Structure 1
Amino acid sequence: MKLIQSRDNAFFKQLKRLAESGRERRKAGQTLLDGLHLVEAWETHRAPVEQLVVAESALAGGEIAAYVGQRDCTVLADSLMRELGIVETPSGLLAIVETPVPAASPDVHADAVLLDGVQDPGNLGSLIRTAAAAGVRQILLSPGCAAAWSPKVLRAGQGAHFVVNVHEELDLEHFMTVYCGVTVVTCLADSTSLFDVSLDGPLAWVFGAEGTGVRPALVEIAARRVRIPMPGAVESLNVGAAAAVCLFEMVRRRNVMPAEGQGAGIS
């Protein structure tokens, strides 16, 4: 194990660029996984991690020390791990991995979630996680969305990225016009209650940016416009909450039973 204590170290400088710059991540074709849960999820669904970075104090004991064991890794002084600034309280474990590329073009015959201009990393990661939990296997992001493979979005996704295809910088308008299922947009104007519309598949759900919602051009070409009934004294839901309501109403209608050993959970 190699211990790095200086911020002038070349490896640390590269690590910091990966943590801070989307351009650097695209150039290198790499991203960072933060935390043992995310690293283990990657190894479960993708491939063994080849480059591990661990905080010096994390080697003193606990689950990270047990996971690292005799594996080859780079050790960072705790101050340098904090300086990376991925999260306010570093987990103590990072992995450098190759950024996945979707295996094929989006499937116009399968369920999909389309995200229009979702810029908050936490919201985007939560939306990907919700879609994956509902059984949707493709997520399409418009230009203007947060970078799906940034460390903060990955952390919010909690490993969901690794079981779906994420397509970035997509022309959502074009996809909606060629989609062979039903496109559904959430909005208030000229819409029908979510509980009163057919949700037979395949469906492409369109959710919009925080505050502004779905662009009018996408609303116009959607086959169905739905709203979530809200008897309480509020006007709208966070996009992540709205997506969860819609997607799990779809799951309920289809009466999908979880696979053995799986089920509802909150974490």
Structure 2
Amino acid sequence: MKAISSRDNANVKRLHALATSARERRSSGSTLLDGAHLVQAALDAGWPLREIAVSEQGLQRPEIGAIIARCGALPALQLTDPLFAHVSPVDSPSGILAVIDIPHARMPKGLRESVLVLDGVQDAGNLGTILRTAAAAGLKEVLLTPGCAQAWSPRVLRAGMGGHFCLNIHEHVQVGEALRGYPGQILATGLGAGARELYDCDLRGPVAWLFGAEGQGLSDEVAALANGLVVIPMPGAVESLNVGAAAAICLFEQVRQRRADGRA
């Protein structure tokens, strides 16, 4: 393990750039995993790590020591606590970081199973939470329009808590092209003519779920793809739900129906 104590070190500058710059992540094709849980999730999923970095305090933690032992001959950097805080993508440094390559998911073709479409979701916490929910609900394909936050940014990864490693995440997708010929329902949430309550819908077959940005909702282009509109019943005095909560309710109502039908 290589010990580093200077901010002028090239490795420190590189890690700091990955933590803070979307442009650097795009140009290098790599990103940071922050925290023992996320690094462990990557290892459990067989996701290849390029290198790890640990803080002095992190070395004292048994769970981080176990990860280091598991990584074997993987390149490893030991940073002083102040340096680790400098390169950490979060306000409360976790003690361990890992560098991974950002996968290049191909444009999905011939989609036949349920799929999640996110249109302009810009909040990193919301995006990561929705990706984790999709993974928990058993979905495999996620399509993100160009207006979404960078799916593989450290903050989205941290919120996703390992869900990324169970999904095929397609960014900058032209959704109309991807869903051309889709055999199932294409559903959006919202009020409007012909909207049905979620719990009255038959969700046992494949569904392409469309969810829009936190404030603006779906763009006109994506909304026009829907062949059905659903509304989540809310008997309480609340006008709307956070997009993450709405996605979770819809996806797990589909899980419930499919389980009752013996399909999940």
Q: TM-score, normalised by structure 1?
A: 0.91
Q: 2:231 aligns with which of 224, 227, 230?
A: 227
Superposition RMSD in Å: 1.9
Contact 1:52 1:95 in 2 (8 A): yes
Q: Which residue of 1 aligns with 2:252?
A: 248
Q: Which amino acid aligns with 1:99?
A: I
Q: 2:210 aligns with which of 206, 230, 239?
A: 206
Partner SS state of residue 116, structure 2: strand
Residues 144-170 of structure 1: per-residue CA shift (max 9 Å, x gap) = 100000010001001110011000000
Residues 118-150 of structure 1: per-residue CA shift (max 9 Å, x gap) = 000000000000011111101000011000000
Kindly tell me: are residues 178 and 258 of structure 1, through their superposed partners in 2, closer, same or farther at Cα, counting changes over 3 Å?
A: closer
Is 1:216–2:220 an aligned residue pair?
Answer: yes
Question: C-alpha separation between the residues in 1 aligned to 2:21 and 2:242?
Answer: 27
Q: How big is the shift at 1:85?
A: 4.2
Kindly tell me: are residues 102 and 65 of structure 1, through their superposed partners in 2, closer, same or farther at Cα, counting changes over 3 Å?
A: same
Q: How big is the shift at 1:258?
A: 11
Is 1:184–2:187 an aligned residue pair?
Answer: yes
Q: Which amino acid aligns with 1:37?
A: H
Unaligned runs of 5+ in 1: 260-267
Q: Which residue of 2 aligns with 1:32?
A: 32
Mean alpha-carbon deviation: is it higher for 158-167 or for 44-53?
44-53
Partner SS state of residue 255, structure 1: helix
Q: Which amino acid aligns with 1:219?
A: A
Question: C-alpha separation between the residues in 2 aligned to 1:86 and 1:246?
Answer: 32
Is 1:193–2:205 an aligned residue pair?
Answer: no
Unaligned runs of 5+ in 2: none
Q: How big is the shift at 1:108?
A: 1.9
Q: Which amino acid aligns with 2:85?
A: R
Q: 1:173 aligns with which of 176, 179, 186?
A: 176
Question: C-alpha separation between the residues in 2 aligned to 1:215 and 1:103?
Answer: 24
Identity level (%): 49
Mean alpha-carbon deviation: is it higher for 206-215 or for 79-88?
79-88
Partner SS state of residue 225, structure 1: strand
Kindly tell me: are residues 50 and 219 of structure 1, through their superposed partners in 2, closer, same or farther at Cα, counting changes over 3 Å?
A: closer
Q: How big is the shift at 1:192?
A: 1.2
Question: C-alpha separation between the residues in 1 aligned to 2:263 and 2:17?
Answer: 41
Q: Which amino acid aligns with 2:171?
A: E
Question: C-alpha separation between the residues in 2 aligned to 1:27 and 1:197?
Answer: 44
Contact 1:106 1:138 in 2 (8 A): no
Residues 46-195 of structure 1 aligned to structure 2 (within 5 Å)? 46-69=46-69, 72-102=75-105, 105-190=108-193, 191-195=195-199
Mean alpha-carbon deviation: is it higher for 119-128 or for 44-53?
44-53
Residues 165-220 of structure 1: per-residue CA shift (max 9 Å, x gap) = 00000012333343222100011222211111221321100001001111233223
Partner SS state of residue 19, structure 2: helix
- Count the aligned residue pairs: 259
Question: C-alpha separation between the residues in 2 aligned to 1:167 and 1:13?
Answer: 29
The ranges of structure 1 where at least 4 consecutive aligned residues each deviate by more than 4 angstroms after the TM superposition are 256-259
Contact 1:32 1:150 in 2 (8 A): yes
Question: C-alpha separation between the residues in 1 aligned to 2:21 and 2:48?
Answer: 25
Q: Which amino acid aligns with 1:31?
A: T
Q: How big is the shift at 1:103?
A: 5.5
Contact 1:55 1:76 in 2 (8 A): yes
Contact 2:40 2:67 in 1 (8 A): no
Contact 1:121 1:152 in 2 (8 A): yes
Contact 1:177 1:221 in 2 (8 A): no
